[in-house]
Amino acid sequence: MTAYFSYFPNTYVGEGVNQDEPYRYRLVKNIFRRVKVREDLDQYVTAFEAYSIKDTDTPSSLANILYGDSKLDWVILLVNNIIDFYEQWPKNNEDLYAYVLEKYANEEAVHHYETNEITDGDTIITKKGIEVIRKFKLHQNVRTEGPANHFKKSDTPTMGGIFMIIPFLIFLLSITIILGSLKLFLLLLTIFGFFITGFLDDYLSIKRKENTGLKTNQKFITQSVISIIFILLAYEKNLISPLITVSDSWGINMNIFILPVSFLVLVGISNSVNLTDGLDGLAAGCSGIVFYGLGTEILLKEQQELFVFSILCFSMSGICLGFLKYNSYPAKIFMGDTGSLSIGAILGSIALLTNSVFTLSIFSGIFIIESLSVMIQVGFFKITKKLFHRGKRIFLMAPLHHHFELKGVKEQKIVENFWKINILLVILGIVLKINL
């Protein structure tokens, strides 16, 4: 506190005295002068950390959490330009409700905020799904370290992946029963495992009112166990080949290395889709494009036993692109880990079962770049911190789409450009597949 007041100017204040005593002045701090954060510092977004205020938070409690000293509450007030605590500090839900009633007399009065009401009458599953999700208060918890403009999305319903993956699983189950295919059965179990993992992650996140559900190691271990079971069973039954086919004429024989490669494909693509799901419509749009490309590539193999996988890919492409009606900016619902982890598992497992790993790696270029940006950012930060005792960053924020956000590019523009790049990657993959 002493350091804070040291920047206030000194002034002399006269003290009232008796008639028999001379008039005296006392040197004091002029606390009526206002202090604000320097404008040059205010321009650097990375100098600040975003925090989503909870109902029970106060400046002193936050100071204790963030700085380990409740007496540093003035830092929080200063940085956020809060002069009148009682008027400017965010109200909790109860106080806000009372304030609205007092100001506008009743709940039906005109309110100065927007709602995400659904007025479309031409949908069934998704519209009703959104209503159900809202009813059970399954809202997105935005990560506090993300861009500040994402906090407005905290009330958007999540777990929309339920209405994407469950219909697909029912469709897959029907086909599996009809055909009696071991490949399809193994695919079904794998997708279901990733679906449950994502569902638990979303559910725990909502229950705890935090952006983290399952711990990182818990999620990775669960994904790893499911993937290893899938790979070992598929390899034992000769359902996946050690040959990664590049074209009809040649391929890369991985032999025993096919096992770790398969693990990398399944777990890697699943988490990559999850990382990409950070902007409205980004993951859903890119996934729809990749599924369409993968389905086309499987058709080009002209192997009758693989046609069913092509149908599955086209089905998921339609589901993802249909979901965009509600997930594109401004999103009415998010897919959550329930959707993103499952989508990645579907892509990876189908690619392995149809020997389409090479083309998938090209189709999924956006997903791979997003993952690499995180790995590069974290790795560079740790190395520079060890060498220079201060971590440095290559990107303003990772994954890559957040970097462009902080550069000032509009969210819709980022998403559209990533879609265009993804379409070009699919075209490239198909051309290479045909001509190599």
Q: In Å, how far are 153, 154, 220, 402 from 204, measured between CA atoms?
A: 18, 16, 16, 25
Q: Are residues 109 and 193 in the same domain?
A: no
pLDDT band of residue 29 (cuts 50, 70, 90) is confident
pLDDT band of residue 114 (cuts 50, 70, 90) is very low
Asked which of 93, 113, 133 is the last residue of a domain, the reply is 113
Q: Are residues 215 and 272 in the same domain?
A: yes
Q: Are residues 76 and 95 in the same domain?
A: yes
Position with higher pLDDT, 100 vs 347:
347
Angle in degrees, 0-180, between the axes of helices 182-208 and 162-179, rounded to the nearest 10: 160
Does residue 330 have a cis bond before it (omega within 30 degrees)? yes
- SS3 track for 73-133: HHHHHHHCCCCCHHHHCCCCHHHHHHHHHHHHCCCCCCCCCCCCCCCCCCCCHHHHHHHHH
Handedness of CA 113, 119, 125, 131 (dihedral sign): positive
Position with higher pLDDT, 285 vs 105:
285
Task: For residue 118, tell me if it sits in a domain.
Answer: no
Asked which of 113, 138, 173 is the last residue of a domain, the reply is 113
Query: Rounded distance, CA 135 to CA 124, Å?
Result: 17
Q: What are phi and psi of 372, to 5 degrees?
A: -65, -35
For residue 138, which of 152, 157, 125, 111 has the smallest C-alpha distance?
157
Q: Are residues 28 and 43 in the same domain?
A: no
Residue 360 pLDDT greater than 90, yes or no: yes
| SS3 (DSSP) at 24 | strand
Q: Are residues 235 and 376 in the same domain?
A: yes
Q: Rounded to two decimals, what is the model's pTM?
A: 0.67
Structural contact between residues 398 and 374, judged by C-beta atoms closer than 8 angstroms: yes
pLDDT band of residue 308 (cuts 50, 70, 90) is very high
pLDDT band of residue 69 (cuts 50, 70, 90) is confident
- Looking at the structure of the chain, the number of domains it has is 3
What's the rounded mean pLDDT across residues 206-228? 85
- pLDDT value at residue 133: 47
Task: Dump the DSSP string for 332-355.
Answer: S---HHHHHHHHHHHHHHHHHHTT
- Structural domain that includes position 29: 1-35
Residue 17 one-letter amino acid: V
Q: Are residues 203 and 337 in the same domain?
A: yes
Q: What pLDDT, in 10s, does the model give residues 238-268? A: 999 888 888 777 788 888 888 999 999 999 9
pLDDT band of residue 428 (cuts 50, 70, 90) is very high
Q: Are residues 402 and 388 in the same domain?
A: yes
Average pLDDT, the chain: 81
